[in-house]
Amino acid sequence: MSGWELLDSARVPGEGGEVRLFKRGREFSLRIDETELMNSLLHASEDALADIACGGLADNPSPAVLVGGLGMGYTLASALKRLGPGAKVTVVELLAVVVAWNRGPLGHLAGHPLDDGRVTLREGDVAKALRRECAAYDAVLLDVDNGPQGLVRGANDWIYSEDGLAAAFKALMPGGFLAVWSAGPDPAFRMRLCKTGFETAEHRVRTRAGRRDWRHTVWTGRKHE
């Protein structure tokens, strides 16, 4: 990793892996062990996750939105741009160190979205947040781990299972949207979405604005009214 400076690192709870934050000039990289999860120059697909999920909420004066996974703050920032002043956005992040990085060295990248008055931050497991809610959200955005093929925590697999998707379905209001980011396609996951009862669509999205690198995937699932 020539030229990269390690800024900070922390153990992933219960898994034994290590999450690391690197910097090279103005570029930042978030890695789990040696695998890059996010890069500050390649966030177009994280932006697209929010654009796709929140695009249908323009006529809702007070939508409730859940964002699972903070990352570098790009998805949260894009959601806030799409939503009006009456929106309430809950962001759930498991790793306290990721929250600290977003309040510190990463904050400027997405414009300090955690400081927005519409945002409520919960440090913890988004799976627990989904389990305890019923008809609470107009949209649920999940950018947890690497998608259905998890890298960070084995426990994240539950979110993408039939039980996890059923919990997300229950947590949504009638007509609500689930949007899920993934590093790549997964036909079996889309089948699980359909089996859960969602009206589904698959979107191939760019990793970097202005480029034609359609490498990442966003699935959407609409809960029938």
Q: How far is CA 116 from CA 107, 140, 218, in A?
A: 12, 19, 25
Under the banding of pLDDT at 50, 70 and 90, the label for residue 144 is confident
The model's pLDDT over 32-77, given as tens digits with 9 standing for 90+, comes to 888 888 999 999 999 999 999 998 898 899 999 999 999 999 999 9
How large is the average pLDDT for residues 130-139?
Answer: 95
Closest CA to 167 of 188, 203, 197: 197
pLDDT of 136 reads 96
pLDDT of 4 reads 96
pTM reported for the whole predicted model: 0.92
Q: Residue 147 has what DSSP assignment?
A: B
Higher pLDDT pick, 141 / 148: 141
Beta bridge partners of 36: 31
Dihedrals phi, psi of 118, to nearest 5 degrees = -85, -5
**Side chain identity, residue 170:** K
The model's pLDDT over 4-35, given as tens digits with 9 standing for 90+, comes to 999 999 998 876 689 999 999 999 999 988 88
With H, G, I as helix, E, B as strand and everything else as coil, classify residue 202. strand
Please provide the average confidence, as pLDDT, over all residues in the chain: 91
How large is the average pLDDT for residues 115-140?
Answer: 95
Q: What are the sequence ranges of the domains in the chain?
A: 42-222
CATH class of the domain comprising 42-222: alpha beta
Rounded CA-CA distance 116/103 in Å is: 12
Dihedrals phi, psi of 52, to nearest 5 degrees = -70, -45
